[in-house]
Structure 1
Amino acid sequence: MPVQTVAGSLLDALADAELVELARLRDEPAIRTLTGRYNRRLFRLARSVLRNDAEAEDVVQEAWVRAFTALDGFRGDAAFSTWLTRIALNEALGRRRRQRPTIDWDSYDGNPSEAEIINFPVSAMTSDPERTMARSEIRDVLERSIDELPDGFRSVFVARIVEGMSVEETAELFSLKPETVKTRLHRARSLLREALDRQLGPALTETFPFGGSRCERMTEAVVARLCRS
């Protein structure tokens, strides 16, 4: 028998708890709304563990299947978003453990519940092919640098800075003390700055280029004003 559902235009305004109740009844619009609400977070955090887009996507799908089939066991002791994200992180860590059995899991404090990664503002520069290419290259450098952060720092950095979670949310998610979250974030930022300085430092001398046709055009304009008037 089809389930009575809330109009699609109203679903986005519902709280997680209300959507979860609808999802328990396999209400498809509610399920779609929940997945749309948390897909990005799950992907980013799964990728922070696996450093592989395809693997992270698989984790997201598996996490949703596990979550929706276990909704009857969700009692609301933690926020739905935290419960869901832990499922995804456990799946990601399980996969990585199988891939790299010698990984130093102490960097996650022994806790097995321990990203397109950064979006830049889209502006008029997207109409400039050179600037668009530069923007893409900078994002690639940032993503690679984040990927190279140590395991215990990378996930905290992605949760706090990339995904915008609060210190308290991050601490709860990874079962860490808030002070530990702050310490790891500070260290991750320092490591990231060092990595970016190594990779981008030499390029700074080449920023704001003014050569080629632009230089020639300016020269011609100056000559015209000074010598041909």
Structure 2
Amino acid sequence: MRQLEDSDLVSKTLRGDMKAFGVLVDRYKHMVFTLACRLLRNKEDAEEVAQDAFVKAFKALDTYAGDAKFSTWLYKITYNHSLDRLKKKKRTIDTVSIDLSKPVGLEVMNKVLIELEQQDRSRLVKAAIDRLSEEDAAIVTLFYFDDLSIREIAEIVLLSPQTIKVRLYRGRKQLANLLNTSLLKEKMMNYEH
């Protein structure tokens, strides 16, 4: 069933084939979650919004006209639901505790250090994206991480393609400045220690 086009899977779902909708969910679950996460900046909220977006999509599947790609239609649902969630809920900061009371072997420690270094780079990029406005962060994510076209993004966020180009340019410029500033601060902190 993986070789079927989205439109074929939609048709099968509308005829009662729940496995077909399961394939659509598998195809787009990561991208839907990523978009929700970019907008909400909270994993638990993003998971809920992603699930809700698929439920909404399933319930509204008979309204999908096929003039846009299914993924674009689904992202639009996710985007709007994420914005609704942002309006309803204030953000809170999540903290994670680390238990360092148990001794750790050298091999495990090396793996942990390598992983932490990779996570640190990833954290810097994510932190920089998080400092963008929610809309700009979503647009950057849709373009660079989900590989959507400018036209598709414009359909999702209801802005003109020219506005999307301007936002991408501005977002790239802000990210470069934020990353350069973060790296410079990190180097200075390491130099002081």
Matches within 5 A, 1:177-192: 177-192=160-175
1:128 deviation in Å? 4.9
- How many Å separate the matches in 1 of 2:127 and 2:36? 16
Q: Which runs of 5+ in 2 are unaligned?
A: 91-109
1:70 equivalent in structure 2? 60
Cα deviation, 1:135-162, whole Å, max 9, x if unaligned, reads 1111112112111101331111111112
- How many Å separate the matches in 2 of 1:133 and 1:206? 17
**2:137 maps to which of 145, 149, 154:** 154
1:75 deviation in Å? 2.1
Contact 2:79–2:157 (CA<8 Å) still a contact in 1?
no
1:50 deviation in Å? 0.9
Matches within 5 A, 1:1-229: 11-99=1-89, 128-204=111-187
Contact 1:156–1:181 (CA<8 Å) still a contact in 2?
yes
Q: TM-score, normalized by length of structure 1?
A: 0.68
Identity fraction in percent: 33
Q: Give RMSD over aligned pairs.
A: 2.0
Q: Which runs of 5+ in 1 are unaligned?
A: 1-10, 101-126, 208-229
Q: Tell me which amino acid in the other structure corresponds to 2:139.
A: V
Q: Tell me which amino acid in the other structure corresponds to 1:70.
A: A
Structure whose alpha-carbon radius of gyration is higher: 1
Contact 2:39–2:135 (CA<8 Å) still a contact in 1?
no
Contact 1:24–1:68 (CA<8 Å) still a contact in 2?
no
- How many Å separate the matches in 2 of 1:192 and 1:62? 30
- How many Å separate the matches in 2 of 1:205 and 1:95? 39
Contact 2:49–2:81 (CA<8 Å) still a contact in 1?
yes
Cα deviation, 1:145-196, whole Å, max 9, x if unaligned, reads 1111013311111111121111121122222222211110111111111111
Q: Tell me which amino acid in the other structure corresponds to 1:151.
A: E
RCO higher in structure (CA 8 A, sep ≥6):
2
Contact 2:37–2:43 (CA<8 Å) still a contact in 1?
yes
Q: SS where residue 31 of structure 1 aligns? A: helix
Q: TM-score, normalized by length of structure 2?
A: 0.80
Q: Tell me which amino acid in the other structure corresponds to 1:98.
A: K
